[in-house]
Structure 1
Amino acid sequence: MNSPIGNAIATRETGPEAIVRQHKDDLTLVLPSHVKGETWMRLAYGVLRSNAQLLQVATRNPGSLMTALQDCARLGHEPGGKSFYFVPFGNEIQGLEGYRGVVERIYRAGAVKVVHAEVVYANDEFVWEPGKVDTQQPPRWEGPQQVPFHKADWFADRGEVKGAFSYGIFQDGTPSRVVIINRDYINKVRKESKGSENPKSPWVKWFDQMVLKTVAHRLEPWVPTSTEWRKEQLRAGLEVAAEQTGPAVINVGPQPQEPGPDSYDDSPVEVELLDD
């Protein structure tokens, strides 16, 4: 007869945690340079130990767990944080990057100092006419309109969601390309998301936050989203300097700090669990 202690030992030796341990080298190999492999692995084990439902699904479908962990590692997020989630869904585990995760990857690259993303509702005032001079707006909006003008009554009924917009501000103060999505695009993304009509789906529980994540993803092609980008810029600069004047030291300025809780320009929406 199997004893509880014997079953527990067998689970540790052949269960999901053992499989994760066996693939430690594969997981840490794809981690960006700012993430410490040992710390990341301890957090991965902790996620399994702290969530009984997650452990049960991972035991039945360890392949889905490994896929989610690989996605988390590749994006440079720590397991168990608010940037990437491991969600049991049916007989598999889905790895979901949150809105904060997208924003963190943009900040880590060092080229963008502010990420701005907002949901636009039917009763909001929203104006976006690139290149048009609008003297009716406050002074900061005079001249060619570089970013949208968005005005809302945060304490009133703002109506239904009709779209969202996002842009980044680079270190020199210039804005990135402005990304705007309408309700048709939002509905299309939701329809393509697996299980989006399920009552437990983030699209049902946190619709506004899902819209924010969607528009943040649309911004990614227009801003750097990796710390490796900064390293590549430094490497290229050193090579050019060496070709022109011989070996030289290039001052690239202060290194970007990891974003703190006040770095995110995502108010007034509290972002928790998000999905594609």
Structure 2
Amino acid sequence: MSQISNEIATRDTGPAAQIEAYRDEYAALVPSHVNADQWIRLAVGAIRGNPDLMQAAQNDVGIFLRELKTAARLGLEPGTEQFYLTPRKKGGRKVIQGIVGYQGIVELIYRAGASSTVIVEAVRANDTFRYVPGRDDRPIHEIDWFGADRGELVGVYAYAVMKDGAVSKVVVLNRKRVMEIRAKSDSKNSEYSPWNTNEESMWLKSAVRQLAKWVPTSAEYMREQLRAQAEVAGELDAPSVAGAPQMPTALDDADPIDDGPIEAELVD
């Protein structure tokens, strides 16, 4: 009897074990194209391989599991640049915060099926950059790959080439605009924030997150396409709206956008 009690007392109830305990729930949340077993292995590995994350997850396992649910619903890989897992101070202790990364947003755009190419690039002081809205359909960005130093970050841009060959709205942000976006991040001052550990990636995210308002990021796009086809076939009376900013998606709930895309000339 005492042996059974000891086994119960020493049973692993930590964050990694909790992921395994809720395996079926996470498997039900991830999109059908995502391998649930691989997704769970990534989540477990992200925690076990980082003592800071493990401690933060142990401090409030409920918050940790909730953040993983967000990654699961979006079908993004936790603990990667698709979906960062970072410690965050809350109530005097560290807990887990999930942050959608730029690679995660790019993945959602590709997954929607409307875009054939997504371009997201940072511009540095010694690069050559030209873009005139209304004249150019896309920026011209020249980089001296063999130069000693490209210089500091001065801006970032993003656009998509749609499957019909059209170029989406082009988003161009200068340093001032990126810093305004950074200022709205509630984790910007944390040493673990991607703004401090992977700054260029967050500049890229700033642009592609703005782009996400203008190109599809979910299967809703495919449903609209089917709706349009049905309308042409005379099966529906209601018109389908095209060419307008997208309706809110799961991404907006997980990673709220600020005040929308900005087109601007880059400045030092």
Q: Is the 8 A contact 2:113 2:222 kept in 1?
A: yes
1:151-188 per-residue CA deviation (whole Å, 9 max, x = no partner) reads 23232433332211110001121100000111111112
2:138 aligned partner? 147
Structure 1 distance, partners of 2:169, 2:30, is 29
* Alignment-mate amino acid for residue 106 of structure 2: V
Mapped partners of 2:32, 2:223: distance in 1: 10
Equivalent position SS for 2:213: helix
CA distance in 2, matches of 1:241, 1:42: 45
Judge which range, 167-176 or 155-164, deviates more: 155-164
Instruction: After TM superposition, list the pairs within 5 Å mapping 1:162-181 onto structure 2.
Output: 162-181=154-173
Opposite residue 83 of structure 1, the aligned amino acid is Q
2: CA distance, partners of 1:200 / 1:22: 28
Alpha-carbon offset, residue 88 of structure 1: 2.7
Match of 2:245 in 1: none
Mapped contact 2:195–2:202 kept (Cα < 8 A): yes
RMSD: 3.1
User: Structure 1's 177 and 47: CA in aligned 2 closer, same or farther, altered over 3 A?
Assistant: same
Question: How far 1:108 moved relative to its partner?
Answer: 0.9
2:68 counterpart of 1:69: yes
CA deviations over 1:63-111 (Å, ceiling 9, x no partner): 3202320221122113344422322334111212222111111111111
2:244 equivalent in structure 1: none
Match of 1:270 in 2: none
- Residue 53 of structure 2 is aligned to residue 54 of structure 1: yes
Q: What's the counterpart of residue 116 of structure 1?
A: 119
TM-score by length of 2: 0.71
The normalised TM-score by structure 1 is 0.70
User: Which deviates further from its counterpart, 35-44 or 211-220?
Assistant: 35-44
| 84-93 vs 213-222, which moves further | 84-93
Code of the residue aligned with 1:178 in structure 2: it is V
Residues 235 and 53 of structure 1: is their aligned pair in 2 closer, same or farther, counting only changes over 3 Å? same
Per-residue CA deviations over 1:121-160 (Å, capped at 9, x if unaligned) read: 233332221233xxxxxxxxxxxx2112222323243333
Number of the residue aligned with 2:216: 224
Q: Are 2:131 and 1:103 equivalent residues in the alignment? A: no
Residue 181 of structure 2 corresponds to residue 189 of structure 1: yes
Local SS of the residue matching 2:64: helix
1:102 is aligned with what amino acid? I
Structure 1 unaligned residues grouped into runs of 5+: 133-144, 245-276
| Matches of 1:99 and 1:7, distance apart in 2 | 44
- For residues 46 and 156 of structure 1, what CA distance do their matches in structure 2 show? 37
Aligned to 2:39: 40
Q: Is the 8 A contact 2:86 2:192 kept in 1?
A: no
RCO higher in structure (CA 8 A, sep ≥6): 1
Q: Who is 2:131 aligned against?
A: 128
User: 1:219 deviation in Å?
Assistant: 0.7
CA–CA separation in structure 2 for the residues paired with 1:25 and 1:239: 38
Q: Distance in 2 between matches of 1:48 and 1:74?
A: 19
Distance 2:53 2:197 in 1: 20
- Tell whether the 8 Å contact from 2:88 to 2:190 is kept in structure 1 after alignment: no
Q: How many residues are treated as equivalent by the alignment?
A: 229
Aligned-pair CA distance for 1:196: 2.3
In structure 2, relative to structure 1, the CA distance for the partners of 1:205 and 1:42 (3 Å cut) is closer
Structure 2 segments unaligned to the other structure (5+ residues): 237-268
The answer (yes or no) to whether the contact 1:112–1:170 under 8 Å persists in 2 is yes
* Contact 2:115/2:161 (8 A) holds in 1: yes
Q: Please, which moves more after superposition, 204-213 or 191-200? A: 191-200
Aligned partner letter, 2:122: V
Q: What SS does the aligned partner of 1:221 have?
A: coil
- AA aligned to 1:58 is A
